Amino acid sequence: MPRRFSGSSTGFTLIEIAVVLAIIGMVMLLVIPRLPSSDGEDLKTSARTLASTFRYMQARAAAGRTTYYLRVEPGTDRVTILEAAADGSEKEPTDPQLQKRPVREGIQVADIMIPRLGKISDGQLMLPVGMGGLRDLAVIHLRAPNGSFWTVMAFPSSGKVKVYEGYQETVP
């Protein structure tokens, strides 16, 4: 005669636990990217993205023998990249990497310091990036809504771009 178990079995099987963990993992993959990020993290990401955009612009300008312009409006979060057209005007770049926004929405360009022009904190500025890189040292200060700063320094000719936490006016 077959044996019967008299007690009930309690607990979860390994398969049930694996299914629940898989569902939790999928939910996390959908939810975490949609969570709001902090101002500090947006500021840090914007500074690093702007620095890498400068480096990429310099590499593309040298490889394509063209000039790109970083158009910045200090006091706002508007930073765009333009490409020099054959007729001398500017156009939107054809490179998808350069069409992306280098500074996150809400992160402002507080001011830009260029030694021959001084500190520019309003208006519009076009920084040309040609085959030889930048013409002048450019120090760009980014500000988050909470008042914190990060500094992006783009050095002429060498192609070096450095990122510093805080408001830096000179090379540390």
- Side-chain half-sphere exposure of 149, counting CA atoms within 13 A: 14
CA nearest to 46, candidates 111, 105, 1, 96: 105
> Which residues make Cβ contacts (< 8 Å) with residue 64, sequence separation at least 6?
none
CA torsion sign for 22, 23, 26, 28 is negative
3-state class (DSSP) for residue 66: coil
Domain map of the chain by residue range? Answer: 39-165
Q: CA 131 to CA 77: how far, in whole Å?
A: 27
**What CATH code would you report for 39-165?**
3.55.40.10
Per-residue pLDDT of the chain (172 residues; tens, 9 = 90+): 555 555 566 788 899 999 999 999 999 988 877 766 677 888 999 999 999 998 999 988 888 888 999 999 999 989 999 998 878 888 888 888 888 889 988 899 999 999 888 899 889 999 998 888 888 899 999 999 988 999 999 998 777 999 999 999 876 6
Q: pLDDT digits over 112-154, tens only? A: 999 888 899 889 999 998 888 888 899 999 999 988 999 999 9
DSSP H stretches of helix in 32-139: 39-64, 96-99
Q: What pLDDT is stored for residue 51 in this prediction?
A: 92
pTM equals: 0.75
